[in-house]
Structure 1
Amino acid sequence: MHKLLRQGLVLQLLALVISVLVLPVQARVISDLYEVVEAVPSRGTTDRAAAGSRGLERVFVRVTGDAAIGRAPNLQPILKSAQQFVQGYRYTREDNQLYLHISFNPQAISRQVNQLGLPIWPNNRPGTLVWLAVDTLQEGRSSLSEETSPELFAVLEAMAVERGVPLDFPVLDLNDQRNMPLGALWAQDEQAAERAGLRYSPDATLMGRVLQASGRRWQADWLLVHGGRSYAFDTTGGSLEEVALRGVNQLSNILAQRYAVLPEGQGSSLGAVVIELSGVDSFADYAQVSGYLQGLAQVNSANLLSVEGDRMRVALVSSVDLSNLRDTLALNHKLQAQADGDAINLSGYRSPLGSAENPLRYRWD
């Protein structure tokens, strides 16, 4: 194998593999972005068309990551002609309520998103572990779990489906309570969250502390920890459920801003970013790495530069900035980021990160 690598013959083979093989290794793939369920009064054509318009708007929110996309003027004619995007539908009835299940065509919607110049949020999305604590006027402070607050967490799950974000919740057993005691959760202790999250391996962690200020006034402070960065925000509302829903909604907005991709030709272009991957010591590894990089929505092209031993270098051309590109790569748990090099020459010039002299370094595990 190493002889082939030294001779460079494998470069030609890998180029062929890249062009025909896409084997993405993704964090959490959302498979039902294009499926909705709408309550309808009848099976009539008019009611079905109205439900289709409402459902298509929900799909555009999920796909673009923009909760307000339905108010965009250029989308209104599209929503009125939702039937052209329908792939299939069926009816069900539950508790005397009729429901219309609609499946929309992913390819047709993607083409429309691109034509309108809207961002598109790929369906591999970070999974978020949500820790919640509440302080009520009658009962004081407590941690919340699916077992103790099933209705609240069912509402949060429904919002997660609406926005297309995967959520996980801790079981809050003795192990969780030891690693994330109520005091640490209320203080939004990042070290405690990291320790408590080891058993869940989340891509992101959201900690929320909800305070009942009065009978009809609730407020919450949130801390999202993801990709080496922390985001603090707050929400208010008239109930615990409303405040929590707004927290998940804002979480979705933050993640969409980091991962949504503008169509080619819009936004800032990085040019070529060079990454170096070690631990790629078999042809199967080379094929899988190359297919994964080529299949990323954030990457316009992935060109193999060199192979030496168990290391390969690839030039990525992307329309997202360097920080967002690194966030995307971090979603693949087989890619372990390595320390950045200190590429300083004798004159004191530091080579830019992502250049051939100072590539992004990862290990493939």
Structure 2
Amino acid sequence: MPGFSRFAAGLTGLLWLGAPSGFAATPAELYQAQTIVTGTGEPNRQIGFKDCLEKVLVRVSGDQRLTQKSEMLALRNKAADFVQSFRYHDRLEGIPIHDEQGTHDRPHDLTCLYKPAVVDKLLAQLGSRPWHGERQTLAVFLTTEQGARHFVLTADEDRGQTMRESFTNATGPLLMRVTFPKTRQLAGLDEKALPAADMARLDQLAKNVGAARALAGSIVWSDKELGWIADWRLADRGKTYQWQARGVSFDEAFRVAVRGAAQILSGNGQP
């Protein structure tokens, strides 16, 4: 979306000041999905409908595994049937059309709106259910290592700003929220001590930041993997879950973190 990174930066700034520990999404917020398509023609719209269907099912349920189910193929082929309404937004709005570029190939945000009863029925067919509970704010305790450069991602330092923006962007599709601790709120935990810190201690620190619980992780750059190795931890209902992504961009590492957290908190188990 145009200006989204600037919006995310502003949102992240607000989150640093103290985020609410959780919120309940309204049906209007929950039962919609967005994707990027080229132009507004019918063929690409149908592709967009398929992508939005997968996204809304994961958004409502919190379960990222749904997209891998064999039953999804038949649903994707009928994706247009489930859309209540849709709208476009030109991502290049305000930018003049170039001589060689017509409106047919300009990128657009396609937003699809769905009736809750329709989506809930599809989830039932997939053996899932809506996640209507409170979406808790997570405090991110993250260590980063790239060669000789290593640090804890905090709210009050210039370094890591791009990562903070990226993490905030990753929360949007699942209506999650994150916040980041200030250096003084780490209680002396540095990049060496943080990965070994007990989740109960981190959950308590998260409450001090204004969040409901902690999402702990580390990302390490790997020349061999040609990307980041990301490890994540989150405690829920007396159990600590761990999951990993390898050879990914830090954008994808953060999406993996948020999707995994949503899957756990929605009661769908191990990411």
Secondary structure at 2:151 match in 1: strand
- Give the total of aligned pairs: 230
Task: Could you tell me which runs of 5 or more consecutive residues in structure 2 were left unpaired when the two chains were aligned.
Answer: 1-20, 93-105
Q: 1:49 aligns with which of 46, 49, 60?
A: 46
Which 4+ runs in 1 deviate beyond 6 A? none
Q: 2:168 aligns with which of 145, 151, 157?
A: 157
What is the distance in 2 between the residues matched to 1:148 and 1:229?
33
Secondary structure at 1:123 match in 2: coil
Residue 161 of structure 2 aligns with an amino acid whose one-letter code is: P
Secondary structure at 2:136 match in 1: coil
Query: Higher Cα Rg: structure 1 or 2?
Result: 1
Q: Which residue is equivalent to 1:185?
A: 194
Q: Which residue is equivalent to 1:168?
A: 178
What is the distance in 1 between the residues matched to 2:163 and 2:211?
21
Q: Measure how far apart 1:143 and its partner are.
A: 0.9
Residue 120 of structure 1 aligns with an amino acid whose one-letter code is: R
Q: Measure how far apart 1:130 and its partner are.
A: 1.5
Residues 121 and 43 of structure 1, relative CA distance in 2, 3 Å threshold: same
What TM-score do you get using the length of structure 1 for normalisation? Answer: 0.55
Which deviates the most, 248-257 or 99-108? 248-257
Q: Which residue is equivalent to 1:135?
A: 145
Contact 1:133 1:142 in 2 (8 A): yes
Q: Which residue is equivalent to 1:275?
A: none
Residue 81 of structure 1 aligns with an amino acid whose one-letter code is: K
What is the distance in 1 between the residues matched to 2:204 and 2:188?
6
Matched, 1:144 2:129: no
Residue 215 of structure 2 aligns with an amino acid whose one-letter code is: L
Q: Measure how far apart 1:238 and its partner are.
A: 4.0
Q: Which residue is equivalent to 2:84?
A: 87
What is the distance in 2 between the residues matched to 1:258 and 1:40?
30
Secondary structure at 1:127 match in 2: strand
Residue 47 of structure 1 aligns with an amino acid whose one-letter code is: N
Contact 2:89 2:109 in 1 (8 A): yes
Residue 223 of structure 1 aligns with an amino acid whose one-letter code is: R
Secondary structure at 1:73 match in 2: coil
Matched, 1:122 2:119: no
Residues 93 and 251 of structure 1, relative CA distance in 2, 3 Å threshold: same
Q: Which residue is equivalent to 2:257?
A: 247
Contact 1:224 1:230 in 2 (8 A): yes
Q: Which residue is equivalent to 1:29?
A: 24
Question: Structure 2 matches for 1:1-365, cutoff 5 A?
Answer: 27-31=22-26, 32-95=29-92, 96-114=106-124, 116-124=125-133, 125-139=135-149, 141-145=150-154, 148-162=159-173, 164=174, 166-174=176-184, 176-178=185-187, 180-190=189-199, 192-214=201-223, 216-258=226-268
Q: Which residue is equivalent to 1:318?
A: none
What TM-score do you get using the length of structure 2 for normalisation? Answer: 0.71
Residues 54 and 156 of structure 1, relative CA distance in 2, 3 Å threshold: same
Contact 2:62 2:131 in 1 (8 A): no
Q: Measure how far apart 1:55 and its partner are.
A: 0.6
Q: Measure how far apart 1:137 and its partner are.
A: 0.4
What is the distance in 2 between the residues matched to 1:106 and 1:191?
36
Q: Measure how far apart 1:224 and its partner are.
A: 1.2
Residue 24 of structure 2 aligns with an amino acid whose one-letter code is: V
Q: Measure how far apart 1:27 and its partner are.
A: 4.7
Residue 206 of structure 1 aligns with an amino acid whose one-letter code is: L
Q: Measure how far apart 1:208 and its partner are.
A: 0.7
Contact 2:123 2:130 in 1 (8 A): no
Residues 188 and 221 of structure 1, relative CA distance in 2, 3 Å threshold: farther
Q: Once the two structures are superposed, what CA deviation does each residue of 1:219-264 show, in whole Å capped at 9, x if it has no partner?
A: 23332123333223333224444434333333333334458xxxxx
Secondary structure at 2:84 match in 1: strand
Secondary structure at 1:145 match in 2: coil
Bigger relative contact order, structure 1 or 2 (CA pairs below 8 A, ≥6 apart): 2
What is the distance in 2 between the residues matched to 1:85 and 1:238?
33
Secondary structure at 2:48 match in 1: helix
Q: Once the two structures are superposed, what CA deviation does each residue of 1:293-326 show, in whole Å capped at 9, x if it has no partner?
A: xxxxxxxxxxxxxxxxxxxxxxxxxxxxxxxxxx
Q: Which residue is equivalent to 1:308?
A: none
How many percent identity over aligned positions?
Answer: 19
Q: Measure how far apart 1:59 and its partner are.
A: 0.8
What is the distance in 2 between the residues matched to 1:197 and 1:117?
34
Q: Measure how far apart 1:132 and its partner are.
A: 0.7
Contact 2:229 2:244 in 1 (8 A): yes
Residue 156 of structure 1 aligns with an amino acid whose one-letter code is: F
